[in-house]
Amino acid sequence: MITRRTFLKKLGALTAAGTGTASYAFVLEPRFMLNTTVKSFTPPGWTPGLKLRAVLLADPHVVEPYMPLSRWQAVIEAANALAPDVVFLLGDYVSGLHPRLATVPVADTARAAARLKAPLGVYSVNGNHDWWGDAHVQKTMQGPPEAQRAFEDAGIAVLANRAVRLVKDGQPFWVTGTDSTVAFHNRGHGFISMADLPRTMNQVTDDAPIIHLAHEPDLFVDVPRRVSLTLSGHTHGGQLRIAGYSPVVPSGYGNRFAYGHVVENGQHLFVSGGLGVSTIPFRFGVPPEINVLELG
């Protein structure tokens, strides 16, 4: 028979375990952990001999106390220490928490990002929260959002349905970027996309390989075979990930594009687990991460 003393002991242990798990998920993992993942592969259509070291930073959601400016600056220093050839910023620079905690001006976030160092440059795309966080843009339904203007003012190229041609050691490749596919809520009927994939791809004028940046990975199903690699963020790996499974993913495809390197029918997608939090300020089983891709 269970005595009162045993019962209280068990209850105490359960409470301690619960409190420990909560402390881990709401404080330790999201605010204090930072992993670096390294992945080496040669995507299809890649130029033989073209070696590219790309660093990806996704979804910082800069906001006190989860991603204070000081932590974002530390992430940027860590990214620089990885000696990238090129840096890709995959969107969602502003807070995604409700109610909003102490927000950080996106101009400060952008100015911090301007300290990124890469010989081939730093290229950014807008995330859905960069649109949603700009009340004026949401009201008028006219872009670009404040975050885009802040990054451009800081000297960072924002590929909002744009393409740029880069050259590494005499070998060219393209970096293309589409805008958010869920930029506006459509009065309770889904979302309005600002992504224009045909217009973006039409700017590619030769056969050099393409790396495509798209904040939301769901765009991958529409990306032409001509693209060697698509890079996305947005999912945060579900923020809760256990044994390779994320129960809740902001994607129409569930776990299919939740996290990591996805290869489907010979086409490659890489989804970063990102750095910050949105909606509920916790992460469990998918610590904030910087991604290094060694291509070729």
Q: Which residues of the chain form contacts with Fe ion (CB under 5 A)?
A: 59, 92, 278
Pairing status of strand 162-168 against strand 171-178: antiparallel
The strand ranges marked E within the chain are 35-41, 52-57, 86-89, 96-97, 122-124, 157-158, 162-168, 171-178, 184-185, 191-192, 210-214, 229-232, 260-264, 267-271, 278-279, 289-295
Q: How far is the CB of 35 from Fe ion (least distance, A)?
A: 17
Q: Is 176 helix (H, G, I), strand (E, B) or coil?
A: strand
Q: How far is the CB of 170 from Fe ion (least distance, A)?
A: 37
Identity of the residue, 97 or 164, whose beta carbon is nearer to Fe ion in the bound complex: 97
Q: How far is the CB of 5 from Fe ion (least distance, A)?
A: 48
Q: How far is the CB of 289 from Fe ion (least distance, A)?
A: 13
Identity of the residue, 53 or 215, whose beta carbon is nearer to Fe ion in the bound complex: 215
**Cβ pair 125, 106 in contact under 8 A:** no
Q: How far is the CB of 147 from Fe ion (least distance, A)?
A: 12
Identity of the residue, 121 or 285, whose beta carbon is nearer to Fe ion in the bound complex: 285
Asked if the peptide bond before residue 60 counts as cis, ω within 30 degrees of 0, the response is no
Q: How far is the CB of 18 from Fe ion (least distance, A)?
A: 27
Q: Is 227 helix (H, G, I), strand (E, B) or coil?
A: coil
Instruction: Quote the tokens at residue 207.
Output: 């056969």
Q: Is 18 helix (H, G, I), strand (E, B) or coil?
A: helix
The strand ranges marked E within 101-237 are 122-124, 157-158, 162-168, 171-178, 184-185, 191-192, 210-214, 229-232
Identity of the residue, 145 or 296, whose beta carbon is nearer to Fe ion in the bound complex: 145
Identity of the residue, 161 or 278, whose beta carbon is nearer to Fe ion in the bound complex: 278
Cα–Cα separations (whole angstroms), residue 191 to 93, 115, 133, 163, 187: 20, 34, 15, 25, 8
Q: How far is the CB of 265 from Fe ion (least distance, A)?
A: 27
Q: How far is the CB of 148 from Fe ion (least distance, A)?
A: 16
Identity of the residue, 85 or 216, whose beta carbon is nearer to Fe ion in the bound complex: 216
Identity of the residue, 87 or 120, whose beta carbon is nearer to Fe ion in the bound complex: 87
Identity of the residue, 228 or 230, whose beta carbon is nearer to Fe ion in the bound complex: 230
- Sequence-separated (6 or more) residues with CB below 8 Å from residue 88: 54, 55, 56, 57, 122, 123, 124, 175, 211, 213, 231
Rg for the chain, CA atoms, rounded: 20
Instruction: Quote the tokens at residue 22.
Output: 């909560």
Pairing status of strand 162-168 against strand 229-232: unpaired
